[in-house]
Amino acid sequence: MSNSEILERLYATIESRKGADPETSWTAKLFAKGRGKIAQKVGEEAVETVIAALSEGPEKLASESADLLYHLMVLWADAGVKPEDVWAELQQREGTSGVAEKQSRPKS
């Protein structure tokens, strides 16, 4: 199974938890708490990933990265973003200098 297939299966599982019983599913509980709580969890997991990168071993970094990806995908599902939307954006950026890509973004 390819890496993208694993992520696609995870996303499908996350989507299937929308409307499920929050007492029996962590994902359903996150959906029930709303986008603000989901986004907060993404931030917490991002911080834990950074801490693992700076002071833990590769195994802990891999574990925290998996947590971050999971929570990010819950956020995507809540916001109606599909993995293929993200893959398309990455593909569009492929071969483009990071500096050039950032300069091409609208100023906010």
> How many domains would you assign to the chain?
1
Q: Is residue 108 in a domain?
A: no
Query: Do 30 and 44 form a contact (C-beta atoms < 8 A)?
Result: no
pLDDT for the residue 13? 96
Q: What is the pLDDT of residues 3-45, one digit of tens each?
A: 778 999 999 999 999 999 999 999 999 999 999 999 999 999 9
CATH number at residue 98: 1.10.287.1080
Q: Is residue 26 in a domain?
A: yes
Position of tokens 């801490």? Answer: 51
Query: Do 107 and 41 form a contact (C-beta atoms < 8 A)?
Result: no
Domain that holds residue 95: 3-102
Q: Which of 94 and 101 is assigned the larger pLDDT?
A: 94
Report residue 93's pLDDT band, with 50, 70 and 90 as the boundaries: confident
Query: Do 83 and 8 form a contact (C-beta atoms < 8 A)?
Result: yes
